[in-house]
Structure 1
């Protein structure tokens, strides 16, 4: 049963430990198998309504969530093949990005607080039974950046890596995204066209009583443009007293919101060669106020840590041009 998470102005923060996973990544209909032979098939059906709208506060959340769904785009199989749906024990869900055959990049907040039950790759829609995701797979290891500070919302090291128990085979629906170059450390993303993608529980702000035993997550995406650090920093400082690190990447407000599993969702853009490159992972968004920016942790500022942790030693060379 999904527990209500604080949905204040933050968008993201759960954690790491794990469960038994076996994922078929050859089609968009992957099957997650647990060690007790229970299965959770992936289909598209908006089943779980997580909040009781008879309560005025939750009704407000539901209304805001409906507003945010307008204009959100549905991803198709193979469109963003690096996307990972990460399931924590007892049902919490967040997103991540495959960066090699055994490593997934995500946000530190969630990875530092939760035990992981499974990682699902190669899907755009996935349904699982909450009662069957309570076991921990200690073979799925989450590494949180050692400089991450959970008490600092704007920490520039809000980033984590998940190591899978075994390498995955690349298919048309399962493929890593390119890491940025060191030159992106100083890159100005103002007015740069980018995309954010994450798994959303579309009906997650509605009546919980409809079906509290299962949940469906669908891969959504939104097209954004970067805004200047000066404008972003001034807005968040004035509105919330938040001091951003200079490495932060800011975009306009995205409708990919916190009513679901978008925590850890990547921000990416196409380089001059036409390949997708991950620029950031979503850190937080004051989503109640739709004119405020969304903030992302800059991946290039954490490259040394990524390379030393994974042993990759350089950008992924296997990523195709979509």
Structure 2
């Protein structure tokens, strides 16, 4: 689900303290379509048990980055108690058991030390250590990541995937959604009529055409880009505009994975 919405007090967003779709159960990428089953094998449904009663609901996306580790957004972490979370991999239809899923308990949570609960400050990234490893059942895969510092050019087409809201009206498919989405270079996205100073060099913008965007419930999920001969997760869904998600010149903003490769490697090796 996508994110906290953004932060607009003086800049046009409004802050939020939990993922937009925290209490919403049906949603999708805006402007997207049903993904083909068994395509985005590193996609994760991060699920939360609000009352610790064994009833989990999808709150965010994520990516498998090793057999024991899931990458998601820091703002998706509503509690540092791992017992409230589970990661579901091999998922396609959230409301139908298809036999491809693995339901995995979370053992530990590490939020980036630079995360301040303020989206515009960046560092919106977290890693979850699983209690048991993801096993290869043919429906899962470890995500490829970009090279450290790698920057995508303006107009480069990636794909956003997730179970995020279509917005506040309309269809609510249960299956994983996907949509092509074009990168907006930092020199454009940081202009005052776009996101201005709210977007940092450690973020990636994509969309802003008023048609395709992430939305509530997509938070923490991947920006999938085909670079250097492989699909790689270049971004983690972080925030977007308050209100309607697919606004012109207000693209979806992602944590730029290539800016955090040293931290990701360090945590995954020690956690």
TM range (shorter): 0.7 to 0.9
**2: CA distance, partners of 1:232 / 1:172:** 39
Question: Does structure 2 conserve the Cα–Cα contact (< 8 Å) formed by 1:76 and 1:124?
Answer: no
Aligned pairs for 1:48-87 (under 5 A) are 69=30, 71-87=31-47
Closer/same/farther in 2, CA of residues 12 and 119 from structure 1, 3 Å limit: farther
**2: CA distance, partners of 1:249 / 1:89:** 30
Asked whether 1:301 is paired with 2:256, we answer no
Unaligned runs of 5+ in 2: 7-12, 51-56, 97-103
**2: CA distance, partners of 1:222 / 1:10:** 25
Of structures 1 and 2, the larger Rg is shown by 1
Closer/same/farther in 2, CA of residues 78 and 138 from structure 1, 3 Å limit: closer
**2: CA distance, partners of 1:232 / 1:201:** 23
Distance apart, 1:289 and its partner CA: 2.3
TM-score normalized by structure 1?
0.64
Asked whether 1:199 is paired with 2:163, we answer yes
Closer/same/farther in 2, CA of residues 183 and 88 from structure 1, 3 Å limit: same
Report how many aligned residue pairs link the two structures. 238
Which structure's residues are more often helix, by fraction? 1
Closer/same/farther in 2, CA of residues 178 and 87 from structure 1, 3 Å limit: same
**1: CA distance, partners of 2:143 / 2:76:** 21
User: What residue number does 1:26 align with?
Assistant: none
Question: Does structure 1 conserve the Cα–Cα contact (< 8 Å) formed by 2:87 and 2:106?
Answer: no
1:149 alignment partner, one of 95, 111, 116: 116
Question: Does structure 1 conserve the Cα–Cα contact (< 8 Å) formed by 2:42 and 2:64?
Answer: yes
Distance apart, 1:290 and its partner CA: 3.6
1:125 alignment partner, one of 77, 93, 113: 93
User: What residue number does 1:190 align with?
Assistant: 154
Closer/same/farther in 2, CA of residues 177 and 13 from structure 1, 3 Å limit: farther
TM-score normalized by structure 2?
0.75
**2: CA distance, partners of 1:256 / 1:241:** 18
Asked whether 1:140 is paired with 2:104, we answer no
**2: CA distance, partners of 1:173 / 1:203:** 29
Q: What is the CA RMSD across the aligned residues, in angstroms?
A: 3.3
**2: CA distance, partners of 1:154 / 1:202:** 24
Closer/same/farther in 2, CA of residues 77 and 114 from structure 1, 3 Å limit: farther
